[in-house]
Amino acid sequence: MYSTGCRVSELCDVKIADIDFDEDYIQLTGKGSKQRIVPIGSKLKINLLSYLDLKLIKDISNNPFLFISRTDNPLERTAIFRIIKSTALKTSTTLNIHPHTLRHSAATHMLEAGCDLRTLQEYLGHSSVSTTQIYTKLTKEFLNEVFNESHPRA
């Protein structure tokens, strides 16, 4: 979720056929059944390929969904929420981590690294740039912090 910035509902709906390993992108279906293309980075690609190798060994039903439950159904939002919560509890973090935290973090980190707002809007699948602007508040704090630490006249 962090690598693609996808919504939890989009993750539930991903089918193996939605991933293009030759062109390194994944097709996500977002709100209102709108589709968008999101690049997959090299680490995600390696992890997905490893996961698919394991899935093919275990999955005799040939389920088209990328992530399936023990009952051979697409993984549900609540299951993803529990997986993320339990994984966060195993770390030393005291933060309240949930699925949207990963999407929010991806967006914030991209802005902090110089991604422009319009590109981020497309990446996140927002229909309006005003929705994407919510993420700029955090980066203003980051900008002030960097400025105060690095500018000689701060």
Bridge-partner residues for 20, per DSSP? 25
Active site residue 103: yes
Active site residue 85: no
Amino acid at 8: V
- Which of 36, 51, 82, 135 is the catalytic position? 135
- Which of 43, 55, 98, 126 is the catalytic position? 126
Active site residue 100: yes
- Which of 2, 31, 82, 140 is the catalytic position? 31
Active site residue 2: no
Amino acid at 107: A
- Which of 7, 43, 45, 118 is the catalytic position? 7
- Which of 77, 82, 85, 100 is the catalytic position? 100
Taking each helix axis from N to C end, the angle separating 99-112 and 117-124, rounded to the nearest 10 degrees, works out to 160
Active site residue 31: yes
Among all chains, which residue has been given the structure tokens 């991933």?
Answer: 19
Active site residue 51: no
Phi/psi at 94 (5° precision)? -105, 5
Catalytic residues: 7, 31, 100, 103, 126, 135
